[in-house]
């Protein structure tokens, strides 16, 4: 007999579909998905409602936004009063309905879980106090990274109630693309730039938060040392004109590639680059690049980082530099390219694959979630079958 559980996210971002799909197919469980139907936000791709209705046991939810920045999810209380044995929430501290329904769910004997960033490290004042209260509500929290776990241990949250599951993209699809693109479209890059210099890549929104001007300052520093590179920026955003002005000051070439939504084209460009440089924080871009064998450089202030930065193993799948320092970033780029010449691009590619294939993927996430549910609900694990 299958155990009924409920998944209650705030939104339904497209990148979540692969792990939700695997949870929906977990042997021994019957998943009910509580999801908004009409939410549309700029720059966020959503799982189509046709897919949600066709593939999931779907319960509609309506998000009501309350100034200043609060949220109430109308419809989530059906999960509390249903047959579900466990409720898995997004763990959004600003969701009033999560506070109330999670506490009520505990009173009704449900197992309660949050799936959340948890602690960042830069929380202060009332936000810090509220988070310390909030994360004492659930029986367990599924976290994106170990940094949050260490911070929450200091808050007094018990170790056995925190489970690091990392984050993921569509790993199965990326494995197929990986076979197709191999070492990437280096010929296309060579044709555009007219040389075979190292290619530094950034992929994402070109916004002030990404601090891409620091990349151009670092390249200026490299040029002063006698080194040149190529820069490939994939994406668009409010900073593009400022960045074009920065690029015009360099001897090194910059290719403003623009937006790219074709997976085959994008994966070939990523695989063909030598290094992804993300001077601000780095999120799922790190997983995306490493999925196709390209290492990452980003700053090392973990309190201002995203949890996906933990895929970056210093000296193996990339390097950290001193936050805000163009000279430190130039050193990191120079040191990494020297290491690449010594170790070889193929070894680096394999190291990047290994970190994604072992931890930052939906199967890893699903397996830990399943283990925790089986343990907490005191259910004997069903006979294992191949995924």
Q: What's the CATH number where 31 sits?
A: 3.40.50.2000
Three-class secondary structure of residue 363 per DSSP: helix
Report yes or no on 272 lying in a domain.
yes
Its pTM stands at: 0.93
Number of domains the chain contains: 2
Say how far apart CA 204 and CA 278 lie, in whole Å: 9
Domain match, 329 and 369 both = no
Domain match, 347 and 367 both = no
Domain match, 159 and 223 both = no
124 Cβ contact partners less than 8 Å away, ≥ 6 residues apart: none
Domain match, 132 and 212 both = no
Report yes or no on 385 lying in a domain.
no
Q: What per-residue confidence (pLDDT) applies to 380?
A: 62
Domain match, 199 and 115 both = no
**Cα→Cα distances 363→33, 171, 356, Å:** 19, 9, 11
Q: What per-residue confidence (pLDDT) applies to 382?
A: 53
Domain match, 106 and 129 both = yes
Domain match, 113 and 200 both = no
List of the chain residues with pLDDT < 70: 40, 42, 380-387
Domain match, 185 and 100 both = no
Phi and psi at residue 217, to the nearest 5°: -65, -40
Domain match, 298 and 255 both = yes
Domain match, 93 and 239 both = no
Report yes or no on 383 lying in a domain.
no
Q: What per-residue confidence (pLDDT) applies to 52?
A: 95
Element (H, E) at 106: helix 96-107
Distance of CA 226 to the CA centre of its chain: 36
Range(s) of the domain holding residue 24: 3-168+361-376
Token couple for 244: 């074009």
Domain match, 289 and 322 both = yes
Domain match, 371 and 348 both = no
Question: Could you tell me where the beta strands, DSSP code E, fall in 155-274?
Answer: 162-164, 199-203, 230-234, 253-258
Q: What per-residue confidence (pLDDT) applies to 381?
A: 54
């Amino acid at each position: 007999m299958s155990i009924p559980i409920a998944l209650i996210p705030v939104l339904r971002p497209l990148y979540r579909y692969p792990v939700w799909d695997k949870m929906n197919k977990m042997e021994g469980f019957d998943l009910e998905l509580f999801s908004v139907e009409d939410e549309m936000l700029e720059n966020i791709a959503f799982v189509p409602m046709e897919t949600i209705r066709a593939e999931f046991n779907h319960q509609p939810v309506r998000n009501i936004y309350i100034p200043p920045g609060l949220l109430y999810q109308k419809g989530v209380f059906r999960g509390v009063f249903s047959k579900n044995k466990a409720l898995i929430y997004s763990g959004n501290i600003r969701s009033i309905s999560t506070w109330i329904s999670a506490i009520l769910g505990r009173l009704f004997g449900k197992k309660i879980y949050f799936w959340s960033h948890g602690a960042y490290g830069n929380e202060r004042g009332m936000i810090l106090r509220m988070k310390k209260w909030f994360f004492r509500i659930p029986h367990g929290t599924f976290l994106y990274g170990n940094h949050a776990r260490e911070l929450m241990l200091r808050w007094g949250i018990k170790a056995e109630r925190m489970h690091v599951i990392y984050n993921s993209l569509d790993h199965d699809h990326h494995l197929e693309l990986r076979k197709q693109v191999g070492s990437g479209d280096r010929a296309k890059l060579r044709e555009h730039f007219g040389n075979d210099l190292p290619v530094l890549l950034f992929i994402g929104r070109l916004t002030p938060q990404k601090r891409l001007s620091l990349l151009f300052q670092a390249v200026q520093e490299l040029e002063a040392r006698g080194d040149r590179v190529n820069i490939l920026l994939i994406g668009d955003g409010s900073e593009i004109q400022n960045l074009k002005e920065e690029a015009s000051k360099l001897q090194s070439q910059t290719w403003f590639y623009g937006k790219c939504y074709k997976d085959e084209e994008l994966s070939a460009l990523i695989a063909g680059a030598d290094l992804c440089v993300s001077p601000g924080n780095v999120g799922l871009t790190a997983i995306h690049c490493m999925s196709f064998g390209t290492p990452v450089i980003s700053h090392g202030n973990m309190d201002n980082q995203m949890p996906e930065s933990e895929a970056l193993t210093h000296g193996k799948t990339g390097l950290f530099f001193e936050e805000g320092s163009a000279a430190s970033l130039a050193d990191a780029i120079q040191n990494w390219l020297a290491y690449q010449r010594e170790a070889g691009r193929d070894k680096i590619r394999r190291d990047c694959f290994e970190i994604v294939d072992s931890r930052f993927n939906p199967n890893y996430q699903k397996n830990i979630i399943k283990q925790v549910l089986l343990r907490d609900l005191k259910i004997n694990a069903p006979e294992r079958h191949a995924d």
